């Protein structure tokens, strides 16, 4: 059994309700001598309706609202900057958290689809050599509340999809990420169906297996970026700890346990992983795994030596893969001019 986290760290400290979920609310209500079934009403006020003040919760008794106000509060992040791309419909938001840490969230429009790209950590410990977030190092994990807040704060934009693909490695912050997903997924929460939520990971095999056991219908994306250990070790140091064989075995287990295909993301970097030999290794590696491949042309990072391959190289790579792999898509990132594209987030 896992140890229950204390709701507040000091007896005198008020509890931040943002990020807590039904079981936590039931406990709190029980402690206040109230009926536990009101937990769902409380959750709905905080997440589905975005209330930040107990006074708004008109279907809870005045007495309960007063008691809640005495022991708890509902935190919200501070929006400190906002940049809009001139090239496409994307926007980047900079939030400041209670301890002063800063994180970035990206919003992208494609037709009717409005996707929010959520960060799961402040910085990232994985040190992928091509990614800007890795350059800023790792500061701390985000709480589930800080993850869902990135969506709630942008709620007015009618978001249809959420991708856990911003700063950080979600599977190295598993408990809070899982709770955030449950809040996103529930109708008392943010009401995103599982197929509108994607978790992207650099690949932590044991945690992928844990995720497979959760009854979630979310999509899983794996950032592959290289198809041999020799090459992947060079650009994604996490591969030294968890080599491809182990990663692919976990991914296969995931597809078997859930009955769902996964997406392999492959960032195309000029002269690094974009040759025909690389494409051949990639198509061989994923044989037998129900999957789609998503090719992402590299977004240059100021100060890093990597470049995007020329257009014809990108197309040739895709055309080599296409007949050999079940589904291949080429995704042009959004928000490149405001450094909001994949791998460009750093504060």
Phi-psi sector, 225: left (phi>0), alpha (psi -120 to 50), beta: left
b vs e for 157-179, b when ≥16 Cβ sit within 10 Å of the residue's Cβ? eebebbbbbbbbbbbbbbebbbb
Q: Among the options 91, 104, 146, 336, which is catalytic?
A: 104
- Here's the x/- map for ligand SAH, 142-171, by CB under 6 A: it reads as -----------------------x---x--
342 touches ligand SAH by CB under 6 A: yes
Contact 176, 143 (CB under 8 A): yes
Least spacing, CB of residue 300 vs ligand SAH, in Å: 7
Our CB check for ligand SAH shows the closer of 105 and 225 to be: 225
Least spacing, CB of residue 280 vs ligand SAH, in Å: 21
Q: Which of residues 37-96 bind ligand SAH (CB under 6 A)?
A: none
Counting residues that bind ligand SAH (by CB under 6 A) gives 19
Binding-site member from 299, 314, 335, 339 for ligand SAH (CB under 6 A): 299
What single string gives the DSSP state of each residue in 167-223? SS-GGGSHHHHHHHHHHHHSTTTT---GGGEEEEES--HHHHHHHHHS----EEEEE
Least spacing, CB of residue 144 vs ligand SAH, in Å: 17
- Angle, to 10 degrees, between the axis of helix 144-152 and the axis of helix 174-185? 40
What's the rounded Cα separation, in Å, for the pair 29 and 246? 44
198 touches ligand SAH by CB under 6 A: no
* Residues whose CB falls within 8 Å of the CB of residue 62, separated by 6 or more in sequence, listed in order: none
225 touches ligand SAH by CB under 6 A: yes
296 touches ligand SAH by CB under 6 A: yes
Least spacing, CB of residue 14 vs ligand SAH, in Å: 33
Q: Among the options 117, 128, 291, 342, which is catalytic?
A: 342
Sign, CA dihedral 39-43-49-54, equals: positive
Our CB check for ligand SAH shows the closer of 262 and 301 to be: 301
The pair phi, psi for residue 49, each rounded to 5°, is -100, -5
In the bound complex, which residue of the shown chain has the CB atom lying closest to ligand SAH?
343
Sign, CA dihedral 311-115-150-186, equals: negative
- Here's the x/- map for ligand SAH, 103-132, by CB under 6 A: it reads as ---------------------------xx-
Active site residue 342: yes
Pairing of strands 90-96, 102-110: antiparallel
201 touches ligand SAH by CB under 6 A: yes
Residues that bind ligand SAH (CB under 6 A): 130-131, 165, 169, 200-202, 223, 225, 265, 267, 296, 298-299, 301, 333, 342-344
Residues noted as catalytic: 104, 342
């Amino acid at each position: 059994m896992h140890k229950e986290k204390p709701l507040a760290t000091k007896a005198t400290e008020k509890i931040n309700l943002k990020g807590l979920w039904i079981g936590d609310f039931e406990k709190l209500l029980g402690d206040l001598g109230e009926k536990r079934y009101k937990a769902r009403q409380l959750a709905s006020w905080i997440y589905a309706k975005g209330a930040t003040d107990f006074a708004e919760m008109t279907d809870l008794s005045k007495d309960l609202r007063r008691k809640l106000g005495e022991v708890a509060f509902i935190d919200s992040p501070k929006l400190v900057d906002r940049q809009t791309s001139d090239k496409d419909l994307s926007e980047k938001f900079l939030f400041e958290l209670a301890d002063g840490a800063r994180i970035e969230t990206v919003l992208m429009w494609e037709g009717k689809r409005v996707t929010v790209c959520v960060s799961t950590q402040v910085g990232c410990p994985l040190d992928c050599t091509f990614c800007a977030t890795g350059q800023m190092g790792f500061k701390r994990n985000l709480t589930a509340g800080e993850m869902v807040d990135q969506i709630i704060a942008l709620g007015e934009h009618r978001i249809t999809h959420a991708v856990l693909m911003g700063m950080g490695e979600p599977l190295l912050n598993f408990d809070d990420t899982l709770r955030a997903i449950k809040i996103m997924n529930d109708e008392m929460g943010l009401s995103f169906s599982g197929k509108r939520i994607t978790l992207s990971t650099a690949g932590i095999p044991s945690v992928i297996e844990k995720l497979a056991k959760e009854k979630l219908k979310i999509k899983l994306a794996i950032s592959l970026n290289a198809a041999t250990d020799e090459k992947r070790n060079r650009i994604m140091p996490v591969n030294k700890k968890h080599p491809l064989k182990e990663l692919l075995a976990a991914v296969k287990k995931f597809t078997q346990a859930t009955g769902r295909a996964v997406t392999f993301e492959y960032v195309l970097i000029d002269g690094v992983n974009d040759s025909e030999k690389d494409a051949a290794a990639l198509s061989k590696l994923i044989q037998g795994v129900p999957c789609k491949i998503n090719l992402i042309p590299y977004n240059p990072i100021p100060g890093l030596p990597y470049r995007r391959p020329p257009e014809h190289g990108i197309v040739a790579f895709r055309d080599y893969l296409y007949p050999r792999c079940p589904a291949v898509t080429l995704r042009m990132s959004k928000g490149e001019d405001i450094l909001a594209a994949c791998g460009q987030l750093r504060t």
